[in-house]
Amino acid sequence: MLRQLLDTFWREDVWLPPNTTWEDIAPGPDKAVVYTDYRHLLVPLPLAFVIIFLRQMLEKYWFAPFGKSLGIKHTRPKRAPNNPKLEAAYLASPKIKHKQLFLSKDQLCGLAKQLDMTERQVERWWRLRRSQDKPSTLVKFCENMWRFTFYLYNFSYGLFVLWDKEWLWDIDYCYLGYPHQGITNDIWWHYMISSAFYWALTFSQFWDVKHKDFWQMFVHHIATIALLSFSWVVDLHRIGSLVLLFHDFADIFLDAAKAAKYAAYQRLCDTIFAIFTVLWVVTRLGFFPFYIIWSTSIRAPMLLPMFPAYYIFNSLLFLLLALHMVWTWFIFQVAYKAINAGKMEGDIRSSSSSDISDSSHNSNHSTPNRVNNKKET
């Protein structure tokens, strides 16, 4: 029964172009080119844990000392006094799951009466307890420095290995000769390392700094992994390598701007953010839809026969485009506020959700100046 299910799932008329069989593209010494091996999709999983370990070492021994040398302090907030009943109420709060950890007026009154405390005492304890879960500025700086370093490396490596590839300069070569194009060692490593990085991000997202676009990022990571896996299985690695290359470019400046913000280099942050905004629009809303997706949707059907798996692959590209449009809205909001305020404020594509809840809560109890001082990238 299992064999029957697998045969049904891996039907050649679904996954492969017409008149092509799995045997035709199976790797082997007697083949004219080197075909992708679906078993290699397991390689990024252990490699992801190597990347996580590498990240921890870099953050501990390089990025944290560097951040401290810039004056970033690893200060921990004052701990809330021990109160088992308030702790139980805090952990039981349904808003904990969404990181919106401020109390409503009704909740505040109810807890104060139940515990025979003043509303001010409950509110103060709750604020202190909420602060305990926040990462320090140094932790957030290290996280962005890690992503900046990886994106810089991956883009540089991708550009290096693709520079002499004909499909970088003429995208039609992504389809000419398909599926008998073969894969080289440099592209193999580019795929494996990139896939491992997105697996690592998917795992670490659950203990990293929480952002308000948590689920958008989760969908983005899964869609990217699925896109890489699909393109690997059906030998569409050429177009996949282009998607990887141009997606990494803008993210270099995104994380550099965040790191500069946490290091209190406001002018540098504003400059990098302006560069990032331009590059984001050019690559994610210009190059990606009007060159990559145009090619996969218009040129590809002219150059090779279509098959169902190709439409799945193309649908994942459109899913990424939809996420880009959502994030572009966030970016334009930040850019608009930056123009009005004279400097970059708020989030860049996403903020830690605890920062957002703080801003919402403090806006009801503080002056506008205090709210602005609370805002973080």
Same domain, 160 and 268: yes
| 139-153, 158-172, 214-228: range with lowest mean pLDDT | 214-228
Q: What's the pLDDT tens digit per position in 38-72?
A: 899 999 999 999 999 999 999 999 999 999 999 88
Q: Does any domain span residue 221?
A: yes
pLDDT value at residue 5: 78
Q: Does any domain span residue 33?
A: no
pTM of the model: 0.77
* Structural domain count of the chain: 2
Average pLDDT of the chain is 80
Q: Does any domain span residue 77?
A: no
Domain interval for residue 124: 84-132
Same domain, 110 and 238: no
Query: Of 309, 97, 323, which is closest to residue 219 (Cα–Cα)?
Result: 323
Same domain, 120 and 144: no
Alpha-carbon gap, residue 169 to 172, rounded angstroms? 9
Q: Is the pLDDT of residue 133 over 80?
A: no
Q: Does any domain span residue 13?
A: no
Question: Quick one: tokens of 10?
Answer: 């891996």
Same domain, 119 and 160: no
Alpha-carbon gap, residue 45 to 199, rounded angstroms? 7
Number of H helices, E strands in the chain: 18, 0
Kindly state the percentage of the chain with pLDDT values over 70. 73
Question: Quick one: tokens of 46?
Answer: 């252990």
Same domain, 116 and 153: no
Same domain, 345 and 203: yes
| 198-207, 233-242, 274-283: range with lowest mean pLDDT | 198-207
Same domain, 124 and 188: no
Q: Does any domain span residue 3?
A: no
- By residue count, the chain amounts to 377
Query: Of 248, 245, 266, 247, which is closest to residue 257 (Cα–Cα)?
Result: 266
Same domain, 143 and 124: no
- Residue of 324 and 343 predicted with greater confidence: 324
Cα 285 vs. chain centroid, distance in angstroms? 17
pLDDT value at residue 321: 92
- Residue of 294 and 346 predicted with greater confidence: 294
Same domain, 99 and 186: no
Region label for 235, one of left (φ > 0), alpha (ψ between -120 and 50) or beta (otherwise) = left
Q: Does any domain span residue 63?
A: yes
308-341 and 266-282 helices, crossing angle to 10°: 150
Domain CATH code at residue 128: 1.10.10
Q: What's the pLDDT tens digit per position in 72-126?
A: 876 665 665 666 666 666 666 654 443 444 555 666 666 666 666 776 776 676 6
Q: What angle do CA 50, 55, 57 make, to 5 degrees?
A: 95
Same domain, 233 and 279: yes
Same domain, 204 and 227: yes
Biggest distance spanned by C-alpha atoms of the chain: 81
Query: Of 199, 203, 205, which is closest to residue 226 (Cα–Cα)?
Result: 199
**DSSP summary character for residue 348:** B
Same domain, 245 and 365: yes
